[in-house]
Structure 1
Amino acid sequence: MSPFLVFGVIIAYFALLLVISYFTSRKADNNTFFTANKQSPWFLVAFGMVGATLSGVTFISVPGEVGNTNWTYLQFVMGNMVGYAVIALVLIPLFYRLKLVSIYEYLRDRFGQNSYLSGASFFLISQTIGASFRLFLAALVLQLAFFDSFGIPFYVTVLTTISLIWLYTFRGGIKTIVWTDTLQTTFLLLAVVVSIIMIIDHLDLNISQVFTVVTESEMSTIFEWDWRSGQNFFKTFLAGIFITIAMNGLDQNIMQKNLTISNTADAQKNILWFSITFFIATVLFLALGVLLYQYALAQGIGIPARTDELYPMLALNHFGMLAGIVFLLGIIAAAFSSADSALTSLTTSFCVDILNIKKHEVKNQNRTRMLVHIGFTILMFCVIIIFNSLNDSSVVSAVFKVAGFTYGPLLGLFAFGLLSKRPVYDKYVPLVVILSPIISVILDYNSAAWFNGYIFGFEILIVNAAITCLGLYLLKGKQPVKEV
């Protein structure tokens, strides 16, 4: 693709986002930024959340990862479906009943101030790392498609992309995100469909032949029963449940969008319909992965050493101009639908949970929010640059591996709070939530030697949460538990 064509596509796309931002941020205040004034249509949020959840990680890494682990990722997504049901039926009613802006305020009411700050801090760490990893993928593609042609260094690419995100989110916040996510989800799904159509055309297949190619491929194997494997069904399925609860239900990034809906019933409908759409979209991505490898084999194209690069390489260099443009729109949409909401949720959590912004005067509230928003923009830029210098594995594995250690304490805190009425000595909770991921890392590193070849997969999150729950159980307090 011509670098100037790529540049034109990027400019047109962001111009559209800025137009949406203009209309959604008029007369915006902190309430608009944090909660969208509780006026978001549930079906709009549901559709937009598909793009935010799939993100650039799924868009690029999942199709490429099919060559390494087949369709075993679908076992994880099956667990996701159960997790979303738990969110809809348990967490959504709780958060609406408590009228929360930040979901971590629940921890203050249940345990105390130290637990509250611990939970919010772990979210801030987890979300900063996860969002930076996802945005890294988008910057990598833009570097390949445009910036390399002019000898522009990678850090300039990252600075440009993250500055554009800040530009269209700094006023409207979550209200703008709800609407831009709808646009971005449309481009993301359109990119997958167009890519599949292009492959079908190049390989001269009809619909029934495509179905046969995908279903009969060895790469379409879904279930793995070897208990020692990191892709074992039971480990992956359970991890899918608990990672969904932790990374969606206990994540301010995702739940902030749900909490912009006016009532509990509509928020539950949003989650259930979103989960169905998400499952179908994932199947499309996995089918695309099989077709990408079939196409490369038929055309005699070498598979890149890093499977993350397979889809971008084929879409930008082999599928034709239309597919290249749509792919570029898709990857930008996928990454930015995740990163923009992450930046907004990080700003919200830090302002509400750490700074307690509600105590400030209105004028100071706006100024404080703006400074925090800028601060997290700079922080994400730094994390992406560091990750670029260290990354040597599939990003999809890296993101969830990191999340297994940082979201574990959050899952443990909420699980113990909801399932137990036992009082906790709040003063020492920070020690528990710091030690549990450290112990989990040690177990993960030595599992093969200590447990007869057993290798932890995504289920390390469950172990991490269990250690947190055990630590909380040992910290029995004297004060009675308040009803929340």
Structure 2
Amino acid sequence: MSAGFLFSIVIAYFLLLLAVAWKTSKNSNNESFFIGNRSSNWMLVAFGMIGTSLSGVTFVSVPGAVGASQFGYMQIVIGYMIGYLSIAFILLPLYYRLKLTSIYGYLKTRMGMLSYKTGAWFFIISRLVGATARLYLVVNILQATILDSFGIPFWVSTLIILFMIILYTFEGGVKTIVWTDTLQTTGMLAGLIICTIYLLQHMNLNITESLDAMRSASLSKIFNSDVNSKSYFIKQILAGAFITLSMTGIDQEMMQKSISVNKLKDSQKNMVSLAFIMVVVIGLFLYLGGLLHLFAAQENIAASGDALFPTVAVQHMPPAISVIFIVALISALFPSADGAMTALTSSFCIDIAGLNRRSDMDDKAKKRFRQTVHLIVAAAFLLLVLIFKWIDSKSMIDIILRLAGYTYGPLLGLFAFGIFVKRRPNDKLVPFVCFIAPILCFLIDENQEAIFGNFKIGLELIILNALFTFLGLFIISKKVSIAELEQDSVH
């Protein structure tokens, strides 16, 4: 199939996104950009959040990683489910009670302005790095399969894609993204199902036979019982739970969609539904990964890791399936960037610049400020994608989850301390605690063998990071009365 035809598919898909954006961004303002006027349909939010939670990393890296880790990722997914349920019944009631536009507003009422700013900055760093890593992966695949044939440099490809995202998020923000994410999730899941069916038919296998073949090829093991391994199942489940609490529950991008739903009960339905859907969907991605490895062995395909699925889909499947793969891939691309750009813009405007509190600016000036920030965020995306291109890792999902341990850990510690401890930290010292905790984790990570011997710490590094933050906050805090805490929750 020609690169020109595949490129026309990308353009057609983008025009569809623009049409949705034009329809949903009419009469938009800062309130609709930040939280969708709190009128989003919970079912649309739940379905769209599948695409945001998965992104191109899950679409490509999870199937590709089956050759190295079999179905071990399902251990983390079990933890994800625990995390989603905790968000539904612990964090969401808190956010709705305080009527937050930015969830980091909680830190201001509970601890102080510097704690609030620190939490917001850690989110900005975390989401900026994570979202650009996801974006890099998909742009890199599009570059190899389509854009290289036109002689377009990688940086130009990234710039064009970011420009596309700016066009359909510039006005509507969350109000638009709730709808575009729904469209994109549909495209991604359609690609997953159709590619799975094709591989089964091509290899003349039914589901039972394929699972037997995966078992024989040592591709389907889920649980690791070696307590010293980084992949030990209890470590992975705990890590999954805390990663979800961090990357969803205290992440402005994910939560601004949930709190855009009018009622707490409906928002909780969204989160509980997402918990069960994610187990099924990621299970299907792992199953597809097993099929891809069986197919690669049968056809003597040398590709592995992140390159396996694109190679099979574009070079070894019928043209119609290749088109479906490209549609699914770009459906995975846009949710990983559009929501992040919107959330980063929202967090900087509200949390760092205090746009909602500015009485010296009228609505037009505030809108211009927000749009300027949106463009600056896009420029930061471009820079970081180019850095990831320079690093050029074979498995981006490992990098993303590892970085999350360092950047989200302090956020998790801040929220845990605020929710579970009846003490108030010295606000001026909070930033120091939050920056020291990741440094301690890095030193431990680099000297694991000397400290723990054969015992290895993996993704549960995020728990250790949060614990260091929590203990540091406890040391610099003093006890406060229940009446003072209740006053915090009111304000």
- TM-score by shorter chain over 0.5: yes
Aligned partner of 1:61 in structure 2 is 61
- Say which of 314, 317, 326 aligns to 1:316: 314
The alignment partner of 1:220 has SS state of: coil
Q: Is this contact kept in 1: 2:211–2:220, CA < 8 A?
A: no
Look up the match of 2:14. 14
Cα displacement (A) at 1:102: 0.3
Aligned to 1:482: 485
Q: Aligned AA for 2:485? A: K
Residue of structure 1 equivalent to 2:189: 189
Partner of residue 277, structure 2:
277
Residue 382 of structure 1 and its aligned partner are, at CA, apart by 0.2
3-state DSSP of counterpart to 2:194: helix
What is the rounded CA distance, in whole Å, between the counterparts of 1:391 and 1:46 in structure 2? 33
Partner of 2:165: 165
Equivalents in 2 of 1:54, 1:145: separation in Å? 22
Indicate if the aligned counterparts of 1:192 and 1:285 stay in contact, CA closer than 8 A.
Answer: yes
1:221 match: secondary structure: coil
Are 1:430 and 2:431 an aligned pair? yes
Q: Deviations over 1:71-98 (max 9, x none)?
A: 1110000011111110000101110010
Which residue identity is paired with 2:55? S
Q: Distance in 1 between matches of 2:368 and 2:261?
A: 26
For the 8 Å contact 2:422–2:479, the answer to whether it is kept is: no
How far off its partner does 1:278 sit? 1.1
Gaps of 5+ in 1: none
RMSD: 1.2
* SS of residue matched to 1:423: strand
Measure the CA separation in 2 of the matches of 1:43 and 1:425. 41
* 2:461 aligned partner, one-letter code: I
Match of 1:418 in 2: 419
Q: Residues 61-460 of structure 1 correspond to what in structure 2 (within 5 A)?
A: 61-214=61-214, 216-304=216-304, 307-358=305-356, 359=358, 360-460=361-461
Taking the aligned partners of 2:336 and 2:393, their CA distance within structure 1 comes to 22
CA contact (8 A) 1:426 1:477 kept: no
Deviation at residue 417 of structure 1 after TM alignment = 0.5
The alpha carbon displacement at 1:137 in A equals 1.2
Q: CA deviation at 1:277?
A: 1.1
Shift of 1:319: 1.1
Shift of 1:206: 2.9
**Equivalent AA in structure 2 for residue 333 of structure 1:** S
1:228 deviation in Å?
A: 1.8
Q: Distance in 1 between matches of 2:284 and 2:424?
A: 47
Residue 139 of structure 1 and its aligned partner are, at CA, apart by: 0.6
What is the rounded CA distance, in whole Å, between the counterparts of 1:210 and 1:268 in structure 2?
A: 37
Matches of 1:271 and 1:216, distance apart in 2 = 37
Aligned to 1:468: 469
For residue 453 of structure 1, report the CA deviation from its aligned partner: 2.2
Q: Is the 8 A contact 1:217 1:290 kept in 2?
A: no
User: Given residue 408 of structure 1, which amino acid in structure 2 is its aligned partner?
Assistant: G
Equivalent position amino acid for 1:350 in 2:
F
What residue identity is the alignment partner of 1:411?
A: L
After alignment, is 77-86 or 145-154 more displaced?
Answer: 145-154
Q: 1:479: how far off?
A: 6.5
> After the TM superposition, which of the residue ranges 421-430 and 354-363 deviates more from structure 2?
354-363
Q: Residue deviations 1:335-392, cap 9 Å, x none?
A: 2112100000000000000011112321111011000000000001000001110133
Percent of paired sites with the same residue: 44
Q: CA deviation at 1:478?
A: 7.2
| One-letter identity of the residue aligned with 1:405 | Y
Tell me the CA shift for residue 187 of structure 1. Answer: 0.6
TM-fit CA distance, 1:216: 5.0
1:297, CA displacement in angstroms? 0.6
How many residue pairs get aligned? The number is 482
Query: Which string of whole-angstrom CA distances, capped at 9 and with x for unpartnered residues, describes residues 299-326 of structure 1?
Result: 111134xx11110111011011111111
SS, match of residue 453 in structure 1: coil
**Contact 1:109–1:482 (CA<8 Å) still a contact in 2?**
no
Name the CA distance, whole Å, in 1 between partners of 2:285 and 2:260: 29
- Aligned-pair CA distance for 1:275: 1.4
Q: Any idea what the Cα deviations from partners look like across 1:136-179, whole Å, max 9, x if unmatched?
A: 01111110121110221110111111111111000000011000
Q: Deviations over 1:382-409 (max 9, x none)?
A: 0000111013341000001001000000
Q: In 2, distance between residues paired with 1:331 and 1:444?
A: 34
Which amino acid counterpart does residue 29 of structure 1 have in structure 2?
A: N
CA distance in 2, matches of 1:206, 1:227: 35
2:75–2:233 contact (8 Å) kept in structure 1: yes
Measure the CA separation in 1 of the matches of 2:78 and 2:149: 42
Tell me the amino acid that sits aligned with residue 41 of structure 2.
P
